[in-house]
Structure 1
Amino acid sequence: MNNTIFPCLWYDQDAGDSARFYCDVFSGTLTADTPVVLNIELFGQKLMLLNAGPQFTKNPSVSFTVFCDSEEEIIRYWERLSENGKVMMLLGSYTWSKKFGWVQDRFGVSWQLVLDGKISEQKIMPTLMFIHQNTGKAYEAMKLYTHTFPDSEIKQIQRYSDSEEIHDSEPAGNISRGHFTISGYSFLSTENSYDHQFDFNEAISVVVMTDNQEQTDRYWDALVADGGRESMCGWLKDRYGFSWQIVPKKLIELMNDQDPVKAHNVVQAMFRMRKIIIEDLEKAYYS
C-alpha cells in the first residue's frame, strides 16, 4: 500500500481515544503515539490523527467508504461505529448494494459501509462530496487531481442518468460515484445538490509526502492555481475548498533528529512557512 498519500483527521484533544477506537473496530495498529500526532494503520492503510484544537469540525463532506466482504463484517462495523453516533442512512438494502449504511461516529468521522462491490484492493477509500458551488464540478476536480500527480487516472464514472441510482433532486449527468487514483491511492467522489449545512474544511485533509523541492513546488503550484489558497506549514486549499498538506520527506527527517535543539529550530522554521522550502529547513537545522 502506498503510504506516502494518506488522510489527516483534525481533533480537539481526543485523537488518542479515536485512534484506539478505530484500531479496536478494524483490528488496526497504532504506529505512532505523541501528544500531537498519532498514526494508525487499518488494512495496511495509514491515517494520521492530529490533536490540533477546536478550530475545525469534521463533517460528512468527506467520508470513508469501507468495502466489506461479508454480512457479518458489515454488521460488526455498523454496530460499533453507530454506538453514540449519528445514522445518516440506515443499514439496509439499496439498488446499488444489497447492504449499505452511512454513519457518523462518536468522533464526528463519517463512514459509508458497503457489502461487496469492491472496486480495488484498497479496503477504505476517502469519499469527497461535491456540494453547493462545487455541484457539477466533481469530474473537473478529478481531472485536476489525476493530471497533477503521476501514475494517476480516473477509473470509473457513474452518473445519475447512467444507473438506477436516479434521485429526483439530482440533475441528470451529475456524478453519483467517481473512482479515481492519485499515485495509486484510491478515492471516490460524488455530487449532491441538497443544501447541506457543511462543506469541505481543514478537519479532513490529504497529506502528500514529496521526494524533493521540485516535486513539492509542482504539486503546490497546481493545487493552489485558479482560486486555491495557501495556508501555513505546508497546508493549502484547492479551488474547490478541499485541503491538502504537501510535505517534503526531508521535513519529517529533520524534525525527528535526535538533537532536540536542531529539531526545534526546524519546527520553528516550518511555522514561518506557507509552502515548505527544504533549503530553509536545512539552514535552520545547521544554524
Structure 2
Amino acid sequence: MAQQILTHLMFEGSAEEAMNFYVSLFEDAAITDVRRYGPGEMGKEDSIMMARFRLRDREFICIDSPVKHDFSFTPAMSIFVECEDEAELERLFTQLSGGGEVMMPLDDYGFSRRYGWVCDRFRVSWQLNLK
C-alpha cells in the first residue's frame, strides 16, 4: 500500500456528531470506516475509537480521545475549501459558523474576491474561498 497522509481530528466525545455534520455538507462525501470502543476498553463504550471519512477527494481520520487534554483545535491549522460558486460558499459559511465563531466574515480581502474564516461548533477551523 502506498504511503498516505491524512488529516487527523481528535475530539473528546463529539467525533461522531462532527463527522456526520461534515459529511452532510459536501455532495461527494462518505463515512468509510468506523471502529468503536467496546466494553472494558480504554474509551467510553460506543464512542469513536477511530473513524475514516471522505470529503470530496480528501480523507480524514477522527477519534474520541479517552484522555482529557489541556488543548483542543487551534485556528493555526485549518481546512481550506475552494468553493466553485457563491451559493456553495454562502451555504458552507452559514452552516459551519452556526454555533461556532466567525473569524473573518465573507468579504473581498484583496487576496480573494470572496473569502471567510470560521471555527465551527466543534472548534475546527475552516477557511472558505471562492475560486
Identity of aligned residues (%): 32
Q: State the Cα distance separating 1:17 from its structure 2 match.
A: 0.3
1:41 aligns with 2:54: yes
Taking the TM superposition and a 5 Å limit, the aligned residue runs for 1:23-42 are 23-27=23-27, 28-35=29-36, 36-42=49-55
Cα shift readout 1:56-93 (whole Å, capped 9, x = no counterpart): 31111101111111001100100110000101101111
1:60 aligns with 2:104: no
Q: Distance in 2 between the 1:68 and 1:91 partners?
A: 13
Cα shift readout 1:21-72 (whole Å, capped 9, x = no counterpart): 0000123100111221111001121100011143131111101111111001
| 2:68 alignment partner AA | P
In the alignment, which residue of structure 1 is the partner of 2:92?
A: 77
Count matched residues: 115
> What SS class does the counterpart of residue 20 from structure 1 fall into?
helix
Q: Against the structure 1 CA distance between its residues 103 and 9, is the aligned structure 2 distance closer, same or farther, given a 3 Å change threshold?
A: same
Q: Which runs of 5+ in 1 are unaligned?
A: 117-287
| 1:18 alignment partner AA | A
Q: Distance in 2 between the 1:90 and 1:113 partners?
A: 10
In the alignment, which residue of structure 2 is the partner of 1:97?
A: 112
* TM-score for both structures, normalised by structure 2: 0.83
Structure 1 contact 11–54 (Cα < 8 Å) conserved: no
Q: CA RMSD in A?
A: 1.4
Structure 1 contact 60–110 (Cα < 8 Å) conserved: yes
> What SS class does the counterpart of residue 108 from structure 2 fall into?
strand
Q: Distance in 2 between the 1:33 and 1:20 partners?
A: 12
Q: Give structure 1 regions of 4+ aligned residues with deviation exceeding 3 angstroms.
A: none
| 1:54 alignment partner AA | K
Cα shift readout 1:162-220 (whole Å, capped 9, x = no counterpart): xxxxxxxxxxxxxxxxxxxxxxxxxxxxxxxxxxxxxxxxxxxxxxxxxxxxxxxxxxx
Q: Which runs of 5+ in 2 are unaligned?
A: 37-48
> What SS class does the counterpart of residue 31 from structure 1 fall into?
strand
* TM-score for both structures, normalised by structure 1: 0.39
Q: Distance in 1 between the 2:18 and 2:86 partners?
A: 25
| 1:37 alignment partner AA | M
In the alignment, which residue of structure 2 is the partner of 1:173?
A: none
> What SS class does the counterpart of residue 97 from structure 1 fall into?
coil
Q: State the Cα distance separating 1:3 from its structure 2 match.
A: 7.5
| 2:99 alignment partner AA | N
Q: Which has the higher strand share?
A: 2
Cα shift readout 1:97-127 (whole Å, capped 9, x = no counterpart): 11100000000100000001xxxxxxxxxxx
Q: Against the structure 1 CA distance between its residues 3 and 100, is the aligned structure 2 distance closer, same or farther, given a 3 Å change threshold?
A: farther
Q: Which has the higher helix share?
A: 1
> What SS class does the counterpart of residue 93 from structure 2 fall into?
helix
